[in-house]
Structures are given as structure tokens and as C-alpha cells.
Structure 1
Amino acid sequence: MTSTVPAALTRTADGSALQAVLLDMDGTLVDTEGFWWDVEVAVFGELGHSLDDSWRHVVVGGPMTRSAGFLIESTGADITVAELSVLLNERFEARIAGQVPLMPGADRLLAELARHGVPTALVSASHRRVIDRVLLSLGADRFALTVAGDEVARTKPHPDPYLYAAQALGAHPSRCAVIEDTATGVAAAEAAGCPVVAVPSVGLIPPAPGRTVVRSLEDVDLPFLRSLITVMN
């Protein structure tokens, strides 16, 4: 985990009820969910197995161990979870060796949050080596904190990553707006007690109490995020 924040941030620079914004990475800020699937299809093709497209919604957004385990069990491939995890991470890193495409509205939203002094954290199930590569495109200086899936005892769908991020930023989870693109990530944020903005990338995510579903990050700005905290508190 990396952090540049002081120990006790309790409010944003303008004193609003919104204390922090916590954002997922793949499929939320960067258009890479399809990259992961392409890599998985290619790797299993080399192992002599094909992947059913319906499995995408199972493996998207979750920890590497869960995705790898599911695909091994589903295909019967002769490879361990540890071996497959290393192979997938290596192939994905190669896939994003150049500039990573940002999701529509991501650059504008991050700039707006920075301009208004809103503490912002990147919270991902991806491993640190992958996050650091993607940060070359996103800009590491835009985040006070980054949390990787291999740096917490339990990653998404468990609440641990979001609870850690809120605590590290000195914020209460109920005053941290979370932006996610998958059901797995939404489950993690909601279990942590955070209001959630869902921007679905693969599969449908229905609206629910404490959860707002939007078409893209182009529909999200700081006044909108502030309104979520006002409603919830």
C-alpha cells in the first residue's frame, strides 16, 4: 500500500460532509476489463482449453485467486492457481505496456477532485505490480492512497480494502463515496458501509438503497458525489 496522507483527515478542503472518494481501477477508471478477459482466453487457449463467454461475469472484478481457481475448475486445466496467477499478471502487464485507455470522464473527474482538495484513494483487487504500471497512465500524484489486492488479507468482495482506505484517510466509511464497475466491487463497498456509485462495465448492476447506477463517469461530478452523502446522513 502507498500513502501520502496525514493521519487524521476528517473533512474535505471545503468542509463538506463528503470526506473522501474511493475509486476502483479496472473498468472504472481505465478501460482494461476486456484486456483481462483477452489475456485469460489466450492463456487458456495455449493450455488447450476454451473459455465460455458467460464466465466473464464470474471472474470480473474479483481477486486473482478466485478468478484463477474458477477457470481452472471449469476447464480442468493442468495448472495451479499460483502458476496461473503469475502467468496472467505477466501477460496483462505486457498487454498494458503502453498507454492505458482511460474510461470516459475519468480524467475530468480526477482533475475536479484534485482541484477541490478531495482526498482520493485507488482501491483495486489487482496486484501492486499491475497497479503501479497503470498509474503511469492515470497519474500516481492524483491519489493520496492506493490499495492493491495482494496487500490486504481479504480483498473484494470483502470490505477490508475499503475499510482500510477510509481509516488511512481519517474518514468514516459512510462519508466516503465509492465508485465501482462490478457487482464484486459494489458488494465490498456496501459491506464497508460506503454509499456507492456503480458504473457497470460487464453485466447489470441494479439500483438499490445506498447505491446509484449511472451510465458512465461523465455523469459523475463533485456536486453529485456530495449529494450522496447528504442523502445517506
Structure 2
Amino acid sequence: MDGTLVDTEPYWMQAETELVHAHGGAWTHDDALVLVGSGLWESARVFQEHGVDMPADDIVATLTARVQEQLDADGVPWRPGAKELLRELRDHGIPTALVTMSVRSMAQQIVSHIPFPAFDVLVTGDEVERPKPFPDPYLDAAKLLGVDPHACVAIEDSMNGLASAVAAGTVAIGVPHMIPLPDSDEHTLWPTLAGRGLADLIELIEERAA
């Protein structure tokens, strides 16, 4: 979701900076980039190491609430081509899952701004046993959709997300945003989702199968 479907990473970075500074610590743009794609509770430990004297659950709740405030105030900034691709998939009856390490309340807030029924399933960071980069989130999504994970395409913008998608056995696509992604035989890189459609996904699946 964050960084792939919607451009909420700047909101997260703002919330992180405010939190760490409020506790007398220092937080840089490079510090924030390290956490892109990480689970919230794993990130909470990093904030504690930077001087945030709060329980992990409270850190997650504080950051999430601040990002949601920004979403309410400034709206949902869509990533190029993401909503259009999602709409085409839905028009063709393709089952879809939103697999995010954000909490369910935020995922539901984002989904509520999509002007069509976008997802059959939400898998969120507060509901998985192990977050990305473990395969669990994508395995859970495939199970809930009732499909083989090897028949799924996963679109990600972070290394943790790609690692999770690859480990689950999906056809993984990396679309870099805040951080560069390396070339690899395990995944495919697209510079953007703009102009991409169902035909591109089918072609990729056939290439991978071959």
C-alpha cells in the first residue's frame, strides 16, 4: 500500500521525525529510508533505540494516528498508474488482496477513498504473525483468496516487500519509489505502473512460467 498504491511515505517520515524530536532524539531522512517496507513493531524498536521512551504499541498507535491525520487533511496521493491498473483488474474479475504492514484501520481508510470495490482481502501488519520480509503476509493473502501463491502477482516498492513476495512464491514486481531496488532474477523491475495493464501482467506470468 504505502509507496506502491499510495504515496504515503512522506506522511510516515513526517510522523517519525515529529515523534523522535519530541523525545529529544535526532531523525534524518536516511534514518527514515532504512525503515521503508518494515513492519511497524520492528520499526518501533528502532525508535526506542533513538530515544523514544514509549512502549512499542504506543509508538505504533502514535505514528498511525498522525499519518491518518495527514490523510484526512491532505488527501490520498495515488502513485502513477496504480489506481488505473487496479480498476482494470477488477473490471476483469481478477481477485485482489491488499498486503500492507500498516494497521487495518489505516488500510481501511485508504480503501474507503477508492471509488470502486478494489480488494477482496486485506492483510495488515497488526494481524500477521511475522511481517515482511517473511513470506507470511503473502501466504495469508493467497490462502484467503483461495489461490496458489505461485499463481499470484505481487507488486512492491521495498526490499522487504519484494523479499516477502519472492519467498511466498509469487511473481514479484518491484516498482522503485523512495529507495532504489536491485536487479535480480527473482523479481522484475518496472520503473512505474503508469501505462501498465492486465496484458502486461499476463505477459510477465507467461515469461516467468517459461
Q: Above 0.5 in TM-score?
A: yes
Match of 1:152, as an amino acid? Answer: V
Q: Structure 2 matches for 1:39-50, cutoff 5 A?
A: 39-50=15-26
Identify the residue that residue 95 of structure 1 maps to in structure 2. 70
What corresponds to 1:14 in structure 2? none
Distance change >3 Å, CA 41–CA 133, structure 1 → 2: same
* 2:147 aligned partner: 171
2:140 is the counterpart of 1:183:
no
Gaps of 5+ in 2: none
- The answer to whether the 8 A contact 2:80-2:192 is kept is yes
Q: What is the CA deviation profile of residues 122-169 of structure 1, one whole-angstrom value per residue up to 9, with x for unaligned ones?
A: 110100111111112235711111111111111211111101111222
Q: 8 Å contact 2:23–2:51 — kept in the other structure? A: no
> Kindly tell me: are residues 144 and 165 of structure 1, through their superposed partners in 2, closer, same or farther at Cα, counting changes over 3 Å?
same
- Structure 1 residues 8-87: aligned runs within 5 Å: 25-73=1-49, 75-87=50-62
Q: What is the percent sequence identity of the aligned residues?
A: 38
Distance 1:38 1:32 in 2: 10
Task: Measure the CA separation in 2 of the matches of 1:83 and 1:116.
Answer: 41
- Structure 1: stretches of 5+ with no match in the other structure: 1-24
* d(CA) in 2 for partners of 1:65, 1:138: 27
Aligned partners of 1:138, 1:156: CA distance in 2, in Å? Answer: 25
8 Å Cα contact 1:199-1:215 kept in structure 2 = yes
What residue is the counterpart of 1:136 in the other structure?
Answer: 112
Q: What is the root-mean-square deviation of aligned Cα atoms in Å?
A: 1.4
Match of 1:114 in 2: 90
Contact 2:111-2:118 at 8 Å conserved across structures = no
Q: Is the 8 A contact 1:181 1:200 kept in 2?
A: yes
CA contact (8 A) 1:149 1:155 kept: yes
1:127 paired residue number: 103
Equivalent position amino acid for 2:19 in 1: V
The answer on 1:201 being equivalent to 2:177 is yes
Give the match's secondary structure for 1:146: strand
Distance 1:69 1:134 in 2: 26
For 1:43 and 1:139, the matched residues in 2 are separated by: 33
SS of residue matched to 1:202: coil
1:161 alignment partner, one of 89, 112, 137: 137
Distance (whole Å) between structure 2 residues aligned to residue 29 and residue 217 of structure 1: 10
Whichever residue aligns with residue 107 of structure 1, its letter is K
TM-score (norm 1): 0.85
The runs of 4+ residues in structure 1 deviating greater than 4 Å are none
1:25-49, Cα deviation, whole Å (9 max, x unpaired): 0110111011101110011111122
SS at match of 1:138: coil
Aligned residues: 208
Residue pair 1:58, 1:67 contacting (<8 A) in 2 also:
no
Q: Distance in 2 between matches of 1:87 and 1:193?
A: 34
